[in-house]
């Protein structure tokens, strides 16, 4: 019986390879060598293929398209992960709580819910995060002022194309995330996940270890626990007032600004806070409706 043996073996960890080039690339994981550099952002990579895939971020090239919703991706593995949203396939499970995921990387990230490991730290406020993406969003939303993306319907500015895309659904009425158990559809994936949990008992509740309250999302649980512990990591640069969430800090920032984003559709008056314009609009429209009734009766 012939047993296939690999020709090349890593002297550092013993991992076998059939090709010399594969071994050469692998060795760079031990040496830290990254010879391939992006000419746009100077990010470096261990393999030329990684650089090619990365370059599509700058060029906007997305050759891999989903045949169900036409969403496009720059990498084939991203498309494979995306298709599982439609199929509902979740082959990767957490061995501690049996929560299932469509991506293997999501399991590793999820494990930090149990270990409470937060390896990514903000250099500006020292707040820690379990995901690198969460750290980047934190820096952009909390510490960044640049808002390059604007809504073509209302002109509202956003710090990321992802936030803009979510916002546009409000104008178009699009609800691309549909429930496979019923006819309900949703604008955002997190809304669908919450619906599946509450309406169809699909998913995992996250329980507060202090008061046993159940939350449908990990970020809601984190915010809830922070309020128990009195943790307020978001600090206003103008008055040093502290807040529990980035949303509360953004809302507070409006106090120090003269910008009024929200306009009443009836009288054109502007407001700093969305809640204020909603309350005002109800009173304003009721008052204008009453005036119109009097005017009609007078004629």
Q: Are the C-beta atoms of residues 222 and 233 closer than 8 Å to each other?
A: no
Tokens at residue 142, please? Answer: 């909390």
Residue 8: per-residue pLDDT? 83
Q: Are the C-beta atoms of residues 120 and 128 closer than 8 Å to each other?
A: yes
Residue 179: per-residue pLDDT? 92
Q: Are the C-beta atoms of residues 44 and 36 closer than 8 Å to each other?
A: yes
CA distance 225 to 228: 5
Q: Are the C-beta atoms of residues 114 and 120 closer than 8 Å to each other?
A: no
Q: Are the C-beta atoms of residues 10 and 23 closer than 8 Å to each other?
A: yes
Q: What parts of the chain have a pLDDT lower than 50?
A: 1-3, 290-299
Residue 231: per-residue pLDDT? 83
Residue 90: per-residue pLDDT? 85
User: pLDDT digits over 251-260, tens only?
Assistant: 887 788 777 7
Residue 199: per-residue pLDDT? 93
């Amino acid at each position: 019986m012939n047993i296939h043996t690999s020709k090349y073996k890593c002297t550092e960890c013993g991992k076998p390879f059939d090709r010399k080039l594969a071994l050469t690339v692998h060795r760079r994981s031990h040496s830290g060598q990254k010879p391939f550099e992006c000419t746009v952002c100077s990010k470096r990579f261990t393999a030329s293929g990684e650089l090619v895939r990365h370059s599509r971020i700058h060029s906007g090239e997305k050759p891999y398209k989903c045949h169900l919703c036409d969403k496009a991706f720059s990498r084939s593995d991203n498309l494979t992960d995306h298709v599982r949203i439609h199929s509902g396939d979740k082959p990767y499970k957490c061995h501690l709580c049996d929560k299932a995921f469509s991506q293997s990387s999501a399991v590793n990230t999820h494990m930090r819910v149990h270990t409470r490991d937060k390896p990514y730290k903000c250099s500006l406020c020292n707040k820690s995060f379990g995901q690198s993406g969460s750290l980047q969003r934190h820096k952009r939303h909390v510490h960044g002022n640049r808002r390059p993306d604007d809504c073509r319907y209302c002109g509202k500015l956003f710090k990321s194309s992802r936030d803009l895309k979510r916002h546009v659904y409000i104008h178009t009425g699009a609800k691309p995330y549909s429930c496979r158990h019923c006819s309900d559809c949703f604008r955002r994936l997190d809304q669908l996940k919450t619906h599946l949990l509450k309406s169809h008992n699909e998913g995992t509740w996250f329980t507060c270890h202090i008061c046993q309250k159940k939350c449908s999302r990990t970020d809601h649980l984190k915010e809830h626990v922070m309020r128990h512990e009195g943790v307020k990591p978001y600090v206003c640069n103008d008055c040093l007032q502290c807040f529990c969430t980035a949303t509360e800090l953004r809302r507070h920032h409006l106090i120090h600004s003269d910008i009024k984003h929200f306009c009443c559709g009836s009288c054109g008056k502007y407001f700093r806070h969305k809640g204020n314009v909603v309350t005002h609009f109800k009173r304003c429209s009721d008052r204008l409706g009453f005036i119109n009734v009097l005017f009609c009766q007078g004629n």
